[in-house]
Structure 1
């Protein structure tokens, strides 16, 4: 049976143990041509660690004899560069740093560097003169700058060059940012000598010892605070060459489907590709590129479930790909960013200028905050409009992140007490009995009537739509599709049954209307207008022949009344 490397980021394990490997090695050649000191950002769980492992195994001088076994049949195996197996690779991973206090951050940072340097000396033990003495000196040293200088001097003596790989350079900074403590961040990153000294000493190492650098993370939040002492790095995050370097293209996903050998008799491939595209595709990192990429972790999650159970996963969204709600919640602690979030949730798009680097204190300005959402993978490039970019939510998985944030924010702010059993029963009534009233009554009674008059000022159909969807996804029965285009316009909400619930009987087409209480005299006109729209949408090519499709016009009057008209 084909083995998928779901959760595995060790290149050697993947190649030697026969796991499927999507060949990205052509980028090794291209990166060499771009520059020596590179900085690259992608969202969490997007294949960064595996790519770094690939670089490590390609350049490692110790692995020259394994080259054919590791890279045979791959692009770089057929087209090796002159730098193949030419370096001593120093790899540092800052993902496990303790961030609960300044002292712990500094000590944890120091231990991580020390551990990486000792492992480096042990890996190239046979090359060094008196390696045990080098390790002894490192263990006695407490100053980061001196630690690095010890290794630099040892490497110079053996006439070797270092390829430095840094993974999750920004991990501790992102953790501190998630705490929302700007002063704490400034004390550690800006005021602390140890971080600045580390990167300044790395820069010094490029003068004769460090030949290549590749640094990854999920945001450029720390880059601005480091560039004064580390201004040699080239940011290739939005370079057109790297757009498809991580993530899977449509062609690569199609090849995975072929290798898994899913029969058309078992699952229609056209339908499968459509599902994968809606849930996991959509990422674009350069506006001049045309190919969008799929989240690789989610693709492997889906097919790993398929191979083990011989059917699609019942839950199409793996928990580990979602952005932590607490982290997102703290990023929007100020009013301006909350309004930006609501705007994105309502419209699913926003115009912006992507900023290549910024510091913590600028993070709450709109363009910096929107840029951060882009780097985190919560937004992606839709298209270029004149001098600006239109960003959009990339796929259904990320839409659920926004909807869940909205629902939890609303629940916390108004201390909503929601009976989960009642909510799920109301949703099931729609799915199995074709009854919409229990769900609308639940939302009206438990959510809308509790909202403040301040919220009513921004109330419209879009705001209502977000509320209805955000609570609806507490059940996995439906996949809500908002603003789906048909010949006659854009439908408000289409509730498509989830692939995991084959016994669900009814799907729904909703047209939403909202009027203020003082506008109640316009109810008849609004009703006729809404029904006319609903009839047109229902008669479109997409929905005309759909069986068991229920159609409803839902009119909300203020926050206390509603009217449902079934078509």
Structure 2
């Protein structure tokens, strides 16, 4: 490794990064922009894993009274001496993150919020003995500290008041991942109660707070102002569509090239760009920081390491699943176009409430856009004077991978079709009825989403159909089904051991570029089964009545042939 600094994998504490010798991509220009583009309450909405928490930690380190000013030596902001003299280490700071607030019930979630507030109050334990606080002030502080305050919604405002009384300086409030409690509440059925609580906390701390210098909030979604920011007129929203601060979250191309050069892997720029670039914030093209750091770290141990889906694996894909669950035929076609690398044109709502998300498929597109599953490929003027929208596109190979994997999962859910076509399909496999298998598969393909017009290599398309067929066949829970089972002189695609002990099924899947090539592809599949003796493993298990199937796919069509072995 040519880089002398450690890579900060999973570390979002600015002080630790600077004190312990970790590589830091300098985002301190954010401080200058905040001071020059003044907003009393600033909300940044960005997808997960784009540096929001680290930036909030950096802001706390810069503004908080008693900070170690040497943490900023050599960084961009240190060159603005006038600003540093005026603001560095000048404010009491309240800094909390709400990303840990969850629970199956509202009471559980509220208790977790109380713990977070208690921990932040404990960080200011000097208030307990402050000679500038009255006994009543100290009693109120004690209630926050012990979690016994009856008015949780007023806790942040009250703590800021106590800090002001102690320091005679207004307070900076930093709230990271403000929308996570609402997301969890929506999933677990107590959304209205949590909305009321968060509205109360933010309203008290940000709207009617005489002790507030300024506040910064971060989140993934911009929740409707009417929902939780009612009456907040000092509110500046900085979404992914805003050109202001557009380079302060995510890595720019030059920053990524610097990292790769630092760690001796500049030759990997093409892979990094294909997999982790493609996001458009305002007027800036950015990479996902989480991905870049993890991949470079992986390359230090294995120079031949291939890119992986780090962001998707860390952030979950429930939103895509929600989209698939309500998809109609038009939406399915649009998903297919996206996977193929095309763009779709949509009006986007940057302000939503969680309970609106499932009301309209158009809201789902908005959610996928704001959370990073889709990105802006250009602004458009909507027809009929409907304002402006965006051309949306899947940003990179990593996100395209989750779309494909979730589509496969959606295919597997076709086993719940009321028309019984999947059960008929399984019965046809037992009976050696190639025509019926072909008819049922074609019907299922027409009803579902085809990804065969994607830009994937042909062998990857074959893998897709392999997964599709496995999902359908596994609707028979009493069948033993093995994928890529070693048998004879190779590995059969699918091997099935039904409950009837003497029966066995072997399936070989092929992909054809053209409909006219399906017959030839089936012939190749059957020849491969015979030549490589894929029936051997089944015979070793005592199964002598074996049916072999060659199945070829082309887009939404298939061809099936079979023979007894």
Q: Structure 1-normalised TM-score?
A: 0.70
Structure 1 residues 250 and 393 mapped into 2: Cα distance closer, same or farther (>3 Å)? same
Q: 1:543 corresponds to which residue?
A: none
Structure 1 residues 224 and 273 mapped into 2: Cα distance closer, same or farther (>3 Å)? farther
Q: 1:481 corresponds to which residue?
A: none
Asked whether 1:453 is paired with 2:446, we answer no
Asked whether 1:54 is paired with 2:48, we answer no
Deviations 1:239-286 (A, max 9, x none): 212221111111111111222234xxxxxx4x5211110011011022
The structural deviation recorded for 1:125 is 6.8
For the Cα contact (< 8 Å) 1:224–1:357, is it kept in 2? no
Choose the corresponding residue for 1:303, options 265, 287, 296. 296
For the Cα contact (< 8 Å) 1:302–1:312, is it kept in 2? no
The structural deviation recorded for 1:313 is 2.4
For the Cα contact (< 8 Å) 2:252–2:285, is it kept in 1? yes
Structure 1 residues 56 and 199 mapped into 2: Cα distance closer, same or farther (>3 Å)? same
The structural deviation recorded for 1:230 is 3.4
Q: 1:500 corresponds to which residue?
A: none
Measure, in 1, the Cα distance between the counterparts of 2:13 and 2:449.
50
Q: How does 1:511-522 map to 2 (within 5 A)?
A: 512-514=513-515
Choose the corresponding residue for 1:155, options 156, 163, 166. 163
> Which structure 2 segments of 5+ residues have no match?
382-387, 418-433, 467-510, 521-551
Measure, in 2, the Cα distance between the counterparts of 1:470 and 1:28.
48
Asked whether 1:8 is paired with 2:19, we answer no
Q: 1:472 corresponds to which residue?
A: 463
Q: 1:360 corresponds to which residue?
A: 354
The structural deviation recorded for 1:380 is 0.6
Q: 1:241 corresponds to which residue?
A: 244
Q: 2:152 corresponds to which residue?
A: 144
SS in 2 for 1:4: coil
SS in 2 for 1:147: helix
For the Cα contact (< 8 Å) 2:207–2:231, is it kept in 1? no
The structural deviation recorded for 1:185 is 2.1
Q: 1:45 corresponds to which residue?
A: 49
Measure, in 2, the Cα distance between the counterparts of 1:155 and 1:557.
65
Asked whether 1:87 is paired with 2:91, we answer yes
Q: 1:402 corresponds to which residue?
A: 403
Structure 1 residues 149 and 21 mapped into 2: Cα distance closer, same or farther (>3 Å)? closer
For the Cα contact (< 8 Å) 1:515–1:558, is it kept in 2? no
Structure 1 residues 170 and 89 mapped into 2: Cα distance closer, same or farther (>3 Å)? same
Q: 1:215 corresponds to which residue?
A: 217
Q: 2:21 corresponds to which residue?
A: 18
Q: 2:483 corresponds to which residue?
A: none
Choose the corresponding residue for 1:345, options 339, 342, 348. 339
SS in 2 for 1:202: helix
Higher-Rg member (1/2): 2
Deviations 1:112-167 (A, max 9, x none): 23332333454897685478645323234121244345424423423111110001
Structure 1 residues 46 and 321 mapped into 2: Cα distance closer, same or farther (>3 Å)? farther
SS in 2 for 1:5: coil
Choose the corresponding residue for 2:305, options 295, 308, 313. 313
Measure, in 2, the Cα distance between the counterparts of 1:197 and 1:557.
53
For the Cα contact (< 8 Å) 2:453–2:555, is it kept in 1? no
Measure, in 2, the Cα distance between the counterparts of 1:474 and 1:90.
53
Structure 1 residues 148 and 277 mapped into 2: Cα distance closer, same or farther (>3 Å)? closer
Give the paired residue count.
Answer: 447
Structure 1 residues 261 and 415 mapped into 2: Cα distance closer, same or farther (>3 Å)? same
Deviations 1:449-493 (A, max 9, x none): 754626426777846878974773799xxxxxxxxxxxxxxxxxx
Structure 1 residues 327 and 204 mapped into 2: Cα distance closer, same or farther (>3 Å)? closer
Deviations 1:316-364 (A, max 9, x none): 3326645424453235432449635455335542212232211234323
Choose the corresponding residue for 2:321, options 329, 335, 338. 329
SS in 2 for 1:216: strand
The structural deviation recorded for 1:369 is 1.4
Structure 1 residues 24 and 149 mapped into 2: Cα distance closer, same or farther (>3 Å)? closer
For the Cα contact (< 8 Å) 1:2–1:260, is it kept in 2? no
The structural deviation recorded for 1:84 is 1.7
Q: How does 1:80-119 map to 2 (within 5 A)?
A: 80=81, 81=83, 82-119=86-123
For the Cα contact (< 8 Å) 1:199–1:226, is it kept in 2? yes
Measure, in 2, the Cα distance between the counterparts of 1:512 and 1:177.
44
SS in 2 for 1:61: coil
The structural deviation recorded for 1:448 is 7.8
Deviations 1:526-565 (A, max 9, x none): xxxxxxxxxxxxxxxxxxxxxxxxxxxx9739733189xx
Measure, in 2, the Cα distance between the counterparts of 1:558 and 1:255.
46
Structure 1 residues 457 and 90 mapped into 2: Cα distance closer, same or farther (>3 Å)? closer
Measure, in 1, the Cα distance between the counterparts of 2:378 and 2:109.
40
Asked whether 1:378 is paired with 2:373, we answer yes
Structure 1 residues 516 and 276 mapped into 2: Cα distance closer, same or farther (>3 Å)? closer
> Which structure 1 segments of 5+ residues have no match?
263-268, 417-443, 476-509, 524-553
Q: 2:174 corresponds to which residue?
A: 165
Measure, in 2, the Cα distance between the counterparts of 1:461 and 1:151.
55
Deviations 1:376-422 (A, max 9, x none): 11011112234431111111010101111111111232379xxxxxx
